[in-house]
């Protein structure tokens, strides 16, 4: 079982880590400009686009669980049908985002509180990023579909290729063409469309036979469409709560000061890096739990969960120790502005604790997604957000930025605890 987990987890870790590395390069590029405004713009514009991008993360999550279960059943025709349904959702969603961008932007920037100069720069960043929505959402779909087929190599190739190109383009636009936050956004848009082209190429190369074996590409299984919608709806609500919590965190950071906003953006980047690394095991868990559920193999399903937690906690301890020992030096990698470093240093304690605390919600998410137990996961997230995170912020807001970080930490504790309590009934019970 360890071998099977690592076979899927290692490529996922490699691909996942490339994502925060890209964000880190963006922050480093902006953090070494003459003003902190561009760093704040990338933080604000990035979190708004992330709310949208992550909100449509159901395209990957629903695909992985459903395809993995079809794979466990040995049903290749159903696997292709799920891809068609997911791509239909991706296409219609992206058209919606592009058409209604002005309304989305107006609402978003009314909710996010920042200085007028940072807001103007963030609007330009966001406007460019939204043009990449069709490619971004389709890429998420292919990522999830490949994982469902127990193929972690293709998502790794896609992530590393897209993010490597993105980094090169961002450095080119900022350093050579003297663009600023708008250059970072343009690099992202170009790289996403390259990624979509590469995803289609990889699909045709390895899975083109699926197309030859299907009766018609134009037909859709309406029952499958309904199932995908129900699962995706619940995942969307769960993800919306999660990204809204992070957006709320960023908004309240901006309300304190532009410097705290920049400091928290860097600190969140460290947590994001850990999340993407540990999610390698969560993604592996999704694939395996889905496969074993489809095959009705509950013994291996339980073993998958057990060993996924073991490996994830090993990784979490490593990151916590790294942040404890080298936290100050890591901050200097992101910016040379001493004011930001001075503001960020007292809050490194939350970053040291985060890798250990956040393991449970990360891995349980993978378990519940693989089992397509989306409704239960949704309920746990809604409870954690509305009953734990928001009340704790208003209770501890007099403590300033420490109160803000404490509230975010409580959110993840609540997520992990609630899913742990719900798992025996909704995951391990052989229905």
Per-domain residue ranges for the chain?
A: 2-426
CA–CA separation, 277 and 14 (whole Å)? 8
What pLDDT, on a 0 to 100 scale, did the predictor assign at position 358?
93
Mean pLDDT, rounded, of the chain: 85
Per-residue pLDDT band at 63 (split at 50, 70, 90): very high
**pLDDT exceeds 90 at position 356:** yes
Q: From the centroid of its chain, how far is CA 275?
A: 8
10: how many CB neighbours lie within 10 A of its CB? 15
What pLDDT, on a 0 to 100 scale, did the predictor assign at position 244?
85
pLDDT digits (tens, 9 = 90+) for 237-294: 998 898 889 888 988 888 888 888 888 888 988 888 888 888 889 989 999 999 999 8
Looking at per-residue pLDDT, the higher value among 391 and 217 belongs to 391
pLDDT digits (tens, 9 = 90+) for 91-110: 999 998 888 888 887 777 77
CA–CA separation, 127 and 107 (whole Å)? 14
CA–CA separation, 250 and 254 (whole Å)? 6
**pLDDT exceeds 70 at position 158:** yes
């Amino acid at each position: 079982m360890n071998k099977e987990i690592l076979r899927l987890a290692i490529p996922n870790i490699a691909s996942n880590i490339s994502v925060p590395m890209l964000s880190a390069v963006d922050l480093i590029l902006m953090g070494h400009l003459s003003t902190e405004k561009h760093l704040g713009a990338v933080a604000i514009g990035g979190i708004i686009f992330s709310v949208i991008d992550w909100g449509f993360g159901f395209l990957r999550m629903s695909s992985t669980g459903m395809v993995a279960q079809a794979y466990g059943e040995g049903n290749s025709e159903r696997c292709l049908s799920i891809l068609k349904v997911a791509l239909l959702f991706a296409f219609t969603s992206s058209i919606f985002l592009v058409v209604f961008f002005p309304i989305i932007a107006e609402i978003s920037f009314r909710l996010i509180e920042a200085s007028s100069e940072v807001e103007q720069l963030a609007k330009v960043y966001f406007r460019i990023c939204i043009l990449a929505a069709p490619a971004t959402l389709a890429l998420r779909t292919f990522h999830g579909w490949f994982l469902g087929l127990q193929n972690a190599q293709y998502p790794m190739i896609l992530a590393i290729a897209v993010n490597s190109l993105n980094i090169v383009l961002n450095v080119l636009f900022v350093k050579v063409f003297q663009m600023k936050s708008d250059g970072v956004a343009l690099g992202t848009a170009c790289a996403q469309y390259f990624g979509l082209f590469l995803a289609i190429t990889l699909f045709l190369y390895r899975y083109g036979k699926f197309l030859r074996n299907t009766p018609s590409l134009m037909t859709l299984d309406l029952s499958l469409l309904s199932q995908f919608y129900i699962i995706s709806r619940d995942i969307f609500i769960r993800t919306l709560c999660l990204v809204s919590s992070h957006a709320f965190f960023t908004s309240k950071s901006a309300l304190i000061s532009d410097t705290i906003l920049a400091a928290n953006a860097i600190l969140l980047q460290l947590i994001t890096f850990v999340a993407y690394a540990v999610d390698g095991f969560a993604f592996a868990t999704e694939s395996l739990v889905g496969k074993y559920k489809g095959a009705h193999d509950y013994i291996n399903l339980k073993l998958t969960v057990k060993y996924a937690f073991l490996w994830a906690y090993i990784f979490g301890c490593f990151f916590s120790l790294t942040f404890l020992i080298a936290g100050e030096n890591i901050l200097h990698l992101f910016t040379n502005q001493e004011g930001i470093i001075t503001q960020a240093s007292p809050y490194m304690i939350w970053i040291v604790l985060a890798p250990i605390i956040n393991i449970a919600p990360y891995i349980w998410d993978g378990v519940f997604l693989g089992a397509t137990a989306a409704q239960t996961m949704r309920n746990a997230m809604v409870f954690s957000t509305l009953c734990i995170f928001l009340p704790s912020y208003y209770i501890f807001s007099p403590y300033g930025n420490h109160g803000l970080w404490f509230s975010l930490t409580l959110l993840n504790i609540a997520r992990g605890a609630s899913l742990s309590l719900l798992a025996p009934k909704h995951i391990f019970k052989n229905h």
